[in-house]
């Protein structure tokens, strides 16, 4: 194989890699989930989140901490992901739906969302303990320990119409 062929092969590989990054799921923010997940008869997940600790996580960072990436990476979904993946999510909304449920750009459409398998195939996550421990760990200066059952109960937002 001559050098030209190796070179063009490398070019192709790098183009393919760029294309697949461009197709990564993006972060749309809680306001977009709200339009569907604000129905009391389905558990109003938006309100439960908005009144809970995660939506207020950025308010806990005062002064210079509020712009310190070392703090923001756990206190803000938008700040924890690559800038190229930020669609309409804001830093101020703190630990948003998509830190736990995965970036929503490809599963947010109603035709996809109403089908659990299709949603999961497009990035929806039904989170387990591992997801929480990305942030609830000893790297946090205020770590208080983490008990999944206890902590989940404090932020629970079930949809009573959904089968498990």
Positions touching ligand HEC (CB under 6 A) are 28, 30, 32-33, 35-37, 42, 45-46, 49, 53-54, 56-57, 60-61, 65, 68, 70-71, 73-75, 80, 95, 97-101, 104, 108, 110, 113-114, 116, 119, 126-127, 131-132, 134-137, 139-144, 151-152, 154-155, 157-159, 161-162
Among residues 11 and 127, whose Cβ is nearest to ligand HEC?
A: 127
Among residues 21 and 140, whose Cβ is nearest to ligand HEC?
A: 140
Among residues 8 and 67, whose Cβ is nearest to ligand HEC?
A: 67
Residue of 99, 102, 95, 100 whose CA lies nearest to 54: 95
Contacts with 46 (C-beta within 8 Å, 6 or more apart), sequence order: 30, 33, 34, 37, 38
Among residues 32 and 122, whose Cβ is nearest to ligand HEC?
A: 32
User: Least distance in Å: CB of 127 to ligand HEC?
Assistant: 4
Residue of 77, 83, 79 whose CA lies nearest to 21: 83
Q: What is the dihedral of CA 26, 66, 56, 32, to 10 degrees?
A: -20
**Is 29 within 8 Å of 96 (Cβ atoms)?**
yes
């Amino acid at each position: 194989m001559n050098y030209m062929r190796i070179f063009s092969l490398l070019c192709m590989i790098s183009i393919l890699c760029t294309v697949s990054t461009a197709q990564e799921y993006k972060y749309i923010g809680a306001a977009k989930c709200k339009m569907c997940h604000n129905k009391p008869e389905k558990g109003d997940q938006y309100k439960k989140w908005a009144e809970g600790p995660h939506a207020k996580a950025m308010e806990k960072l005062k002064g210079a901490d509020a712009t310190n990436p070392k703090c923001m990476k756990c206190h803000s979904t938008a700040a924890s992901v690559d800038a190229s993946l930020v669609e309409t999510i804001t830093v101020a909304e703190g630990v948003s739906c998509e830190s736990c449920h995965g970036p929503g750009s490809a599963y947010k459409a109603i035709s996809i969302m109403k089908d659990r398998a299709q949603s999961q195939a497009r990035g929806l996550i039904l989170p387990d303990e591992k997801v929480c421990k990305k942030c609830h760990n000893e790297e946090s200066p205020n770590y208080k320990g983490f008990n999944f059952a206890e902590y989940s109960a404090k932020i629970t937002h079930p949809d009573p119409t959904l089968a498990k």
